[in-house]
């Protein structure tokens, strides 16, 4: 009975689809919708993202070009606020066209034929709604969706390539890449954009049937569940004759902290008895320039500085370690650097420049 009521509510809500793509989705996927609503995907537009808005106004960028990734589903201000990147948009990306200037998402154009990933159904296409009865017809169970078809055989939703339409590169007028995520898709990778940033988390993915877990739609990253990503970074300290070295191994398939204005911070503290010996913080950043001078991204032609973490990064410290010392490493990040915040007139928003921790680990000698 519960399932029949839910199905009825879905059909009643169909007409609202064209007002807000996510309205119908919310009825069957309330948990996923709640996660999405608090995600950076829902907050990607000029109305919702302070940093993007500040950069946009500073750069005098063309809105239409930015909207293709920041608000591809928005046809008005209300949609730009509530669903700039809708559920339907992401789940109807058929494939990605690669281009030197920027990649492009190619959609099916079908609002009731969605792509999704589920390992046990990987070879299935056009999965439709059906009901099954048991115990002499007294118990009815629904299977799949009464609203849309699902195709589980699109490889892009398993290898993470579905993300590469927007999260790869964007060249400015000088043909210089300002995104520079440096992500790559390799068939040998055990982890992908999906497994890292949309990990399986507890809770049923739909009200029509029970499942123990679902793919997290809050988008785990520097905005949400950032500490969960710490497991993809290995930290190590090696004692040397006149100091020590810290090695950071990046297990992700892209550079860390590469987004414009972002800043990674490694704090190192030596505990020696009752004393704390604090080392100078190491900053991971990438600074754009033009004519050997620091510049805004859309004016950039060169990289003036690059201290990001690619596959592996080793940093040498000149403080000599003693027996009994404990070295504490704390790797964190700022959404934007303090210098960038000032340049964008965002210095009063302390949350943007606050250091958030990805991983902390200690080593004894």
Instruction: Quote the CA–CA distance of 178 and 59 in Å, as a whole number.
Output: 12
Instruction: Quote the CA–CA distance of 121 and 351 in Å, as a whole number.
Output: 42
Tens digits of residue pLDDT in 12-51: 443 344 445 688 899 899 999 999 999 999 999 999 999 9
Which pLDDT score is estimated for 354? 95
Least confident of 122-136, 150-164, 307-321, 346-360: 122-136
Tens digits of residue pLDDT in 318-364: 999 999 999 999 999 999 999 999 999 999 999 999 999 999 999 99
Instruction: Quote the CA–CA distance of 196 and 51 in Å, as a whole number.
Output: 24
DSSP 63: H
Domain 226-364: CATH architecture, name and number where available: Sandwich (2.60)
Instruction: Quote the CA–CA distance of 266 and 278 in Å, as a whole number.
Output: 11
CA distances from 204 to 24, 78, 94, 148, 161 (A): 17, 29, 26, 18, 25
Residue spans of beta strands (DSSP E) within 98-173: 104-107, 113-115, 130-134, 139-143, 149-151
Which pLDDT score is estimated for 227? 86
Tens digits of residue pLDDT in 234-244: 999 999 999 99
Sorted by sequence, the CB contacts under 8 Å of residue 245 that are 6+ apart come out as 237, 238, 314, 315, 316, 317
Which pLDDT score is estimated for 188? 74
Q: Where are the alpha helices (DSSP H) in 180-329?
A: 193-197
Higher pLDDT, 139 or 352: 352
Instruction: Quote the CA–CA distance of 347 and 353 in Å, as a whole number.
Output: 8
Instruction: Kindly give the interhelix angle for 50-59 and 63-70, rounded to the nearest 10 degrees.
Output: 160
| pTM assigned to the model | 0.86
The average pLDDT across 190-201 equals: 91
Tens digits of residue pLDDT in 46-89: 999 999 999 888 876 666 578 999 999 999 999 999 999 999 99
Instruction: Quote the CA–CA distance of 55 and 345 in Å, as a whole number.
Output: 10
The average pLDDT across 135-149 equals: 68
Which pLDDT score is estimated for 18? 40
Q: Which residues of 198-214 are buried (b: 16+ CB within 10 A; e: fewer)?
A: beebeebbbbbeeeeeb
Name the band, by pLDDT with cuts 50, 70 and 90, for residue 137. Answer: low
Q: How many CB atoms lie within 10 A of CB 195?
A: 15
Which pLDDT score is estimated for 1? 44
Question: Taking phi first (over 0 means left), then psi (-120 to 50 degrees means alpha), and beta for anything else, what does residue 227 get?
Answer: alpha
Which pLDDT score is estimated for 5? 44
The average pLDDT across 224-250 equals: 94
The average pLDDT across 150-173 equals: 92
Q: Which residue has the tokens 């250091």?
A: 355
DSSP 10: H
Which pLDDT score is estimated for 288? 93
Domain ranges of the chain: 2-42+85-215, 226-364
What stretch of H or E contains 304? strand 302-306
Mean pLDDT of the chain: 87
The CA-based diameter of the chain, rounded to the nearest angstrom, is 79
Least confident of 124-133, 184-193, 336-345: 124-133
Tokens of 316: 């040498």
The average pLDDT across 266-280 equals: 97
Report how many helices (DSSP H) and strands (DSSP E) the chain contains, helices first.
Answer: 11, 19
Is the pLDDT score of 246 beyond 80? yes
Least confident of 9-23, 226-240, 242-256: 9-23
Residue spans of beta strands (DSSP E) within 224-262: 233-240, 243-250
The average pLDDT across 179-185 equals: 74
What percentage of the chain has pLDDT greater than the value 70?
88
Residue among 10, 12, 14, 11 nearest 27 (CA) = 10
Instruction: Quote the CA–CA distance of 89 and 83 in Å, as a whole number.
Output: 10
Which pLDDT score is estimated for 267? 98
Name the band, by pLDDT with cuts 50, 70 and 90, for residue 266. Answer: very high
């Amino acid at each position: 009975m519960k399932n029949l009521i839910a199905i009825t509510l879905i059909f009643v809500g169909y007409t609202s689809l064209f007002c807000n793509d996510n309205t119908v989705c919310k009825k069957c996927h309330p948990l996923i919708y709640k996660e999405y609503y608090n995600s950076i995907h829902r907050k990607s537009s000029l109305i919702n993202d302070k940093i993007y808005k500040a950069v946009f106004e500073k750069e005098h960028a063309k809105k239409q070009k930015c909207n293709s990734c920041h608000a591809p589903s928005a046809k008005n201000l209300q949609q730009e606020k509530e669903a700039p990147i809708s559920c339907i948009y992401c789940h109807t990306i058929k494939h990605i066209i690669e281009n030197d200037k920027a990649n492009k998402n190619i959609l099916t154009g079908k609002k009731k034929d969605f792509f999704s990933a589920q390992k046990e159904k990987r070879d299935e296409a056009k999965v439709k709604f059906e009901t099954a009865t048991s115990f002499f017809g007294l118990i009815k169970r629904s299977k799949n969706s009464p609203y849309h078809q699902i195709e589980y055989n699109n490889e892009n939703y398993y290898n993470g390539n579905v993300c590469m339409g927007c999260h790869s590169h964007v060249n400015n007028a000088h043909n210089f890449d300002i995104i520079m995520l440096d992500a790559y898709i390799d068939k040998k990778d055990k982890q992908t954009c999906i497994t890292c940033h949309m990990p399986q988390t507890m809770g049923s993915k739909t009200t029509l049937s029970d499942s123990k877990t679902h793919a997290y739609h809050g988008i785990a990253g520097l905005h949400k569940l950032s500490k969960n990503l710490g497991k993809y970074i290995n930290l190590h300290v090696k004692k040397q004759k006149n100091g020590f070295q810290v090695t950071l191994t990046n297990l992700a398939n892209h550079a860390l902290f590469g987004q414009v204005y972002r800043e990674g911070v490694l704090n190192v503290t030596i505990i020696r008895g009752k004393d704390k010996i604090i080392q100078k913080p190491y900053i991971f950043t990438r600074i754009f320039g033009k004519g050997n001078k620091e510049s805004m991204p859309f004016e950039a032609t060169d990289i003036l500085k690059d201290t990001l973490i690619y596959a592996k990064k080793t940093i040498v410290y000149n403080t000599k370690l003693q027996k009994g010392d404990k070295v504490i490493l704390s790797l964190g990040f700022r959404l934007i650097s303090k210098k960038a915040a000032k340049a964008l007139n965002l210095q009063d928003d302390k949350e943007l420049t606050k250091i958030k921790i990805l991983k902390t680990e200690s080593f004894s000698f």
